[in-house]
Amino acid sequence: MATSTSTTVSLSMPRIPRVRRTPAEIAAASPTVTERKVLLAAPRGYCAGVDRAVVAVEKALEHYGPPVYVRKQIVHNLHVVSELESRGAIFVEENEEVPEGALVVFSAHGVSPAVVQSAADRNLQTIDATCPLVTKVHREAVRFAKNDYEILLIGHEGHEEVEGTYGEAPEVTTIVNNPEEADTVQVKNPDKLIWLSQTTLSVDETMETVRRLRKRFPNLQDPPSDDICYATTNRQAAIKTIAPQSDLVIVVGSANSSNSVRLVEVALDHGAKASYRVDFANEVDEAWFEGVSTVGVTSGASVPEVLVREVVALLAEYGFTDVSEVTTAQEDIIFSLPKEIRGKLKEAGDEERALGGHARP
């Protein structure tokens, strides 16, 4: 049997020193600004599905011991991946990079049946950390395909979640990337057609895509329940509230985090004069503060709160010390850990069974 060369995904936290302009220099460049405040969006940060996936890897390392292999990034956040790497997690792109018989965790974004089968072919032990809300969409795809529906999957081609959902029923699924593609997509039977979506999309853009699709295909059916997850919806609603009041919105999140990137777009679409995404506080450019009196701050659903606090601390250095949290929803969703981990925890007498996005510090 041919052996493959392992290529791990190594993502270290960038902590590059830089020479900043001083708070006095920024204040001098903004002589008309007399009040500086921060609007901190809530909800923000970790959702229940992300928390569940991260804890699944932490518990696997604790009870199985390192190394624990993880297919793709467990969640789309550089800090989280780097922290887990430091504890013994090894991130790989495909199952073929995992030694036969070893333990591999599937990421929160979900995998296709082909990936599950390739793991079985290599006799890998698996822990499925797919977010339950993504699993719901997978099950919808399977059910509607069995009932001879054609599926229009609204999402970004190449995103891991879309690849996983598409893989459930590739023969009858067409990916629609954006509203413009809704105007040209071709279907075989417009009278037996349903749309599903990636869970982390812009709510407004998705609805615009659906509107255009339904204009062409009046019998297009909706999924049984909204596919866009509660956390994505809540974070976008929060940023819509603070964006009109903000001269600048800073979104903490990684470039490959779909929901973080969408938050920047939503902020700009709803009144923010400027909006930028950063992974870490040291990526914030103090020049952004010139002429700014109000800064909105939020974070994507895979971002730990410590990274937001670092941004707020940096803002305080530049005079933005008046911090108000603007809450638009309360989140109390809790998901059980993957069944493979629950069994291991029971054996070890570890009573931690379920975790939610804001239930853990």
Question: Residue 149 has what DSSP assignment?
Answer: -
Question: Residue 277 has what DSSP assignment?
Answer: E
Residue 311 contacts residue 283 (beta carbons within 8 Å): no
> Among the residues of the chain, which ranges form H helices?
23-28, 48-64, 78-86, 113-121, 132-146, 160-166, 179-182, 203-216, 230-242, 258-269, 305-317, 339-348
Which amino acid is present at 114?
A: A
CATH entry, 32-46+230-327, from 3.40.640.10, 3.90.1010.10, 3.30.70.100, 3.40.1010.20: 3.40.1010.20
Residue 271 zone, left/alpha/beta (φ > 0; ψ -120 to 50; rest)? left
Name the residue ranges covered by the structural domains of the chain: 32-46+230-327, 48-131+334-348, 133-216
Residues contributing to the annotated binding site for [4Fe-4S] cluster: 47, 131, 229
Residues contributing to the annotated binding site: 47, 76, 109, 131, 159, 199, 229, 257-259, 302
The CATH code for residues 48-131+334-348 is 3.40.50.11270
The CATH code for residues 133-216 is 3.40.1010.20
Q: 238-270 burial, b if ≥16 CB within 10 A, otherwise e? A: bbbbbbeebbbbbbbbbeebbbbbbbbbbbebb
Q: What pLDDT shows up at residue 359?
A: 54
Residue 104 contacts residue 98 (beta carbons within 8 Å): yes
Do the domains 133-216 and 48-131+334-348 match in fold? Answer: no
Residue 259 predicted with pLDDT over 60: yes
Residue 89 contacts residue 61 (beta carbons within 8 Å): yes
- pLDDT tens digits, one per residue of 157-208: 999 999 999 999 999 999 999 999 999 999 999 999 999 999 999 999 999 9
173-176 and 193-197 as β-strands: parallel, antiparallel, unpaired?
unpaired
DSSP string, 320-341: --EEEEEE------EEEPPHHH
Q: What pLDDT shows up at residue 265?
A: 97
**Average pLDDT, integer, range 308-322:** 97
Which amino acid is present at 252?
A: V
- pLDDT tens digits, one per residue of 25-64: 888 888 888 899 999 999 999 999 999 999 999 999 999 9
Q: What pLDDT shows up at residue 43?
A: 96
Q: Which residues are catalytically annotated? A: 161
Q: Give me the chain's average pLDDT, please.
A: 93
Q: Whole-prediction pTM value? A: 0.91
